[in-house]
Amino acid sequence: MFLSDYHSHSLVSFDGEFPMAHMAQAAVDAGLNQLCITDHCDFLDQDGAPVRTYDWDRALSQFDEAAPLHSREGFSLRLGLELGMPHLDPAAAERICAQPRLDFVLGSVHNHSPEQGGIDFYYADYSTAAACRKALDDYFASLALLAESGFYDVLAHIIYPLRYMKPADGPVTLEGYEDRLETLLRAAIARSKGMEVNTWCGRTLADWLPLLKRYRALGGEIVTVGSDAHAPGNVGKGVSQAFDLLREAGFRYVTTFRRRKPEFVPII
Ligand SMILES: [Zn+2]
Ligand SMILES: [Zn+2]
């Protein structure tokens, strides 16, 4: 059965340390048919300082080293990018995504908005449910701007900050955010864009089912699956279970990308 992992990081990412060749070998070993490397290009760094460049020379040399090693029947390596908050600078997003060999772009929000200081959600204070709600309000406002910007193929890990939110005074859920979620899914669908199921290395699975069902009910057809692996041992983690969720939500295809064009691969 076809399996693809469309979210992974190599040493080209600030938080990665493994060559693309190692990640690709791990994908082959895990029995995957496709791996897309989606290194970070965040328009805000972890402290909120602006960044508007991407080291394509480094990414392409890593890719050129890895792809021939692993080009074989039944497996292919794709070149992607995880673009953080491209709506902050459309001209820079346009310039960076003009790389002709780019296959796929994940659109992400990892940081607070510049108005809220811009720091990475990873570092925020989640000690109370109220603090979590405040962060989520800012997050979804940015995600709506991203969804409308169109500088992405698929919205990455829509429920991202929830990973870190474990306040003492109760669990934080997406209750109350249904309308905002629907608005941003509609914005993606209207632009022929998709959503990803991000397994967070196998840790986040069932949480995706309601969102998948909602996206499909609204007419969405483009779904990628990604592990968000930063190390070879996590490549493909949770991907097979995520494909099960797709089928459960009624999808008959998973989406892959070549040169920014979606391709639909049957999963039934
Ligand atoms: Zn991310
Ligand atoms: Zn990532």
pLDDT digits (tens), the chain, 268 positions: 999 999 999 999 999 999 999 999 999 999 999 999 999 999 999 999 999 999 999 999 999 999 998 888 899 999 999 999 999 999 999 999 999 999 999 999 999 999 999 999 999 989 999 999 999 999 999 999 999 999 999 999 999 999 999 999 988 999 999 999 999 999 999 999 999 999 999 999 999 999 999 999 999 999 999 999 999 999 999 999 999 999 999 999 999 999 999 999 999 8
Could you tell me where the beta strands, DSSP code E, fall in the chain?
Answer: 4-5, 34-42, 76-84, 104-108, 154-155, 194-198, 223-226, 253-258, 261-266
Residue 152 CA, ligand 1 centroid: distance in Å: 13
- Return d(Cα 9, Cα 231) in angstroms, integer: 8
Residue 155 CA, ligand 1 centroid: distance in Å: 10
Residue 46 CA, ligand 1 centroid: distance in Å: 12
Please name every residue paired with 190 in a beta bridge, in sequence order, or none if there are none. Answer: none
Ion ligand 1: residue ranges with CB closer than 5 A = 108
- The CA distances from residue 233 to 2, 14, 23, 62, in Å, are 20, 18, 9, 19
Greatest alpha-carbon pair distance for the chain in Å reads: 52
Q: Which residues are CB-neighbours of 149 under 8 A, at least 6 positions away? A: 86, 87, 90, 93, 107
| Smallest-distance ligand from the CA of 108 | 1
Q: For tokens 């797709």, what's the residue? A: 246
Using a 10 angstrom Cβ sphere, with 0-12 exposed, 13-18 middle and 19 or more buried, the burial of residue 76 is buried
Give the class (CATH, top level) of 4-266.
alpha beta
pLDDT score of 73: 84
| Smallest-distance ligand from the CA of 16 | 2
Residue 6 CA, ligand 1 centroid: distance in Å: 12
Residue 46 CA, ligand 2 centroid: distance in Å: 14
Please name every residue paired with 148 in a beta bridge, in sequence order, or none if there are none. Answer: none
Find the helix packing angle between 208-217 and 239-248, rounded to 10°: 40
| Smallest-distance ligand from the CA of 122 | 1
- Return d(Cα 134, Cα 136) in angstroms, integer: 5
Identify whether the C-beta of residue 225 lies closer than 8 Å to the C-beta of residue 191. Answer: no
Q: How far apart are the first and last CA of the chain?
A: 9
pLDDT score of 72: 83
244 phi, psi to nearest 5 deg: -60, -40
**pTM confidence score:** 0.97
DSSP-derived pairing of the beta strands 261-266 and 253-258? antiparallel
pLDDT score of 255: 98
pLDDT score of 224: 98
DSSP-derived pairing of the beta strands 34-42 and 76-84? parallel
pLDDT score of 97: 98
Residue 90 CA, ligand 1 centroid: distance in Å: 19
Residue 170 CA, ligand 1 centroid: distance in Å: 25
Residue 120 CA, ligand 2 centroid: distance in Å: 13
pLDDT score of 71: 85
Helix and strand numbers (H, E) in the chain are 7, 9
- Return d(Cα 191, Cα 150) in angstroms, integer: 7
pLDDT score of 93: 98
Residue 215 CA, ligand 2 centroid: distance in Å: 21
Please name every residue paired with 111 in a beta bridge, in sequence order, or none if there are none. Answer: 120
